Structure formats: C-alpha cells, structure tokens
Amino acid sequence: MIESVNQVLVSRSALAHNFALCSRASGNAPVMAMVKADAYGHGMLECARVFSSCGAAAFGVAEVVEGVRLRQANIKEEIFILAGLLPEFAETILQYQLTPVLVDTHSLEALDRAARNHGCTLNVHLKMDAGMGRQGILPVDFSGVVQEIRQKKKLNLAGIMAHFPMADDPDSGSTARILAEFLAVNRSSFSQDPDGLCLHIANSGGIFAVSDAALDMVRPGISLYGYGAAPVTQSSSGLEQELRPAMSFVSRVIQVRTVPAETGLGYGHSFVTRRRTRLAVLPAGYEDGYLRSLSNRGRILIRGRRAPVVGRVSMNLTLVDITDVPGVETGDEAVLLGHQGREFISADEIAAWMGTISYEVLCLFGHCNRIEYVE
C-alpha cells in the first residue's frame, strides 16, 4: 500500500514513561487517563491499550460515542463520560457499562429508569462548578442536588469531581482556593465525612503544581502526551521536566529549487526574497494541520538544522528557506515537530508561533494525518 509522505509518529515508550511520571507525582493515586479528543490527537484506542498495560484505573472521554468505541475495542477499565449527556443516551450508558458524570439534573430520570430496566444500580459521579464557570453544580446548589440524586433508587452517587481552571498558572493562587472550597463544600453537603466517595479534581497542572490535590484519583491529560499544562521551564517541578513528547510530525523534501532576489513566494507574495534563495518544497500544508498562521513564522528541521518557513503556507505545500543549510536534496527528511539530530521543535514552540496552546497543535496534527506507532 502506498503511504503518505507525511507521517505522524507516536512513541509507545514515551506514553508509558509519562504515565509512570504522572503516577509518581500524584503519590501513586489511581489514574484516570484522559483519552478524549482521540487522545489529544495521539489515537484513542492505542493510547488506551498502552495506559491499560501501565495500570490505568479508568479512562476519561467527553462523549458517549467515545466510550462505546473503547468498550468495542475490549477496554475493560471504568470509562467516564465527562462532558455530560442527553437523556436519550441513558440506555447506551447501561448497555456499555459507562460511568456518567452528571453536570446537571437533566438526565436523572432517564438514567434511573434505564438502570431499573437493566436490573442494576448505576454508579454516577457529580461535577461541582468550583470556579471553572463552564459546567457543573454551583456550590450553593450542591447539597440539594446530592439529595436529589440519593432519592433515585437505582443511582449510586460514587464520586464528586471538579476542575482547576488555572492550574497552568500556579502563581495565581486560584488553584489552592478552589481546592479548599471543593473540599469544604463536600464536607458540608453530607451528613458525615464523604469518605465513601471518590473525590477527584487534579488535572495535569494539579498533579505537578498543587500539593495535596491528588485526593482519591487524578486525571492527567496533556502530561500523558509529554507536555505541561503550561510550557515546561526550568522552574517547573523536577518530575514535570522529565516528560517526553510522544508525537513527531515528519515529512520529506519533494523539490529543491533556486530563485533570484526579489522573487515573491506563494499566495499574496507575503514574502519577497532579498537574495538568491534556495528553497525546499514540502508536501504539507493546512490540510495536514500545518496552519496558515505559521506562514513566515514557523521553523523546520532539515539536515539537523533549523530553517525558516517562507511565504504563505498553502493547502498542500510549504516553502522553506534552505540557503544556509548546505547539501539539502530531494527526498531528505523534514521534521515539523520533534527531534532531528541535536535540534528539537516542540508543540509548545509551534503553539507560540500559531498563537495557541500545545493541546491544539497536537490535536491538529493527529487528526489530520495517519498515525504510526513506534516503540
């Protein structure tokens, strides 16, 4: 079978290494591995298999359809549906033994009825809006919703969760306040200490930057794939600095050409050469997730050296100035993300060029290209 010149490579060993780091950083608390959004572009099914072999206690996805795909792939661990659900999916929740996270009371009746139909009790978790402002039950309403759930005979409130909105900014003070409020609301919402419930709030930022946030389970996401919630620096925790990016994006030079000075390059001539310029043409563009915002900003690794993207990135082609990189030939490897020789281009660096975050870069590259797994 003929394959694309562009390849997104994902390292299984890097995934396993990152899982182990997340586990160590959280004091070996049970890990819910976040594999939503096709594992942040890394491929949900294969990543789930790797994390399962590493000892994941559970998996987190956004939608019911993702949970169904994991069950159909023979994933046995508990699977949490994190983004809420419509009542019409209640039967599917029971059929595939998924764990719904309730973000409101809209689906309570449907879930209770489906559990009765299946002759079982369904474990549910409840999401508190402890400061994210996006989903969940506000603290002022929390105790009442807990009682409403407990009135449903076939629903068992098994856990409470919340989400840190600013764990990527440990200096803000927000995260410590939210953790304290989360614990306080839980204590005040139950007639006895909620020891029988699974309390979980720590995302990747919480695991590495917030002491005492591990509680009963942690939910690493971006860190499983080798990046911090914020770009990892020398001031990041020691363990976080050991994360290994799992994804690379590699292409090849399909043409080498030379143009004279004062030549406009690409659509709109957004770059005009100032000298006789040697160009490498790559068969990658915004169709492959290498967005137009990288025009005249991005860098590519060729022959172990950085070379600038010049001209406007188009749908299928990108131009790279290789005038200062001797010996480049048609067929040479070009690295858009990852290592080549001693050089490295990270998703954080690409994100800075694009004006976004590493999460979006990884999702783009993974969703737009076929993934190949390497050890």
Residues labelled catalytic: 36, 267
| Cβ proximity of 146 and 189 under 8 Å | yes
Provide CB contacts within 8 A for 356, sequence distance 6+: none
**What is the enclosing helix (H) or strand (E) of 66?**
helix 64-72
- Residue 65, exposed/middle/buried by CB under 10 A (0-12, 13-18, 19+)? exposed
Q: Would the CA dihedral through 306, 335, 296, 222 be positive or negative?
A: negative
**Contact at 8 Å (CB) between 22 and 207?**
yes
**CB distance 336 to 251 below 8 Å:** yes
CB distance 259 to 273 below 8 Å: yes
Counting every residue, how long is the chain? 375
Q: Kindly state the helix (H) or strand (E) to which residue 159 belongs, with its residue range.
A: strand 155-161
Sign of CA dihedral 128, 131, 134, 137: positive
345 and 335 Cβ atoms separated by less than 8 Å: yes
Distance CA 55, CA 254 (A): 43
CA distances from 145 to 88, 108, 137 (A): 21, 10, 8
> What is the token pair recorded at 59?
């998996």
Token pair in block for residue 258: 């030379």
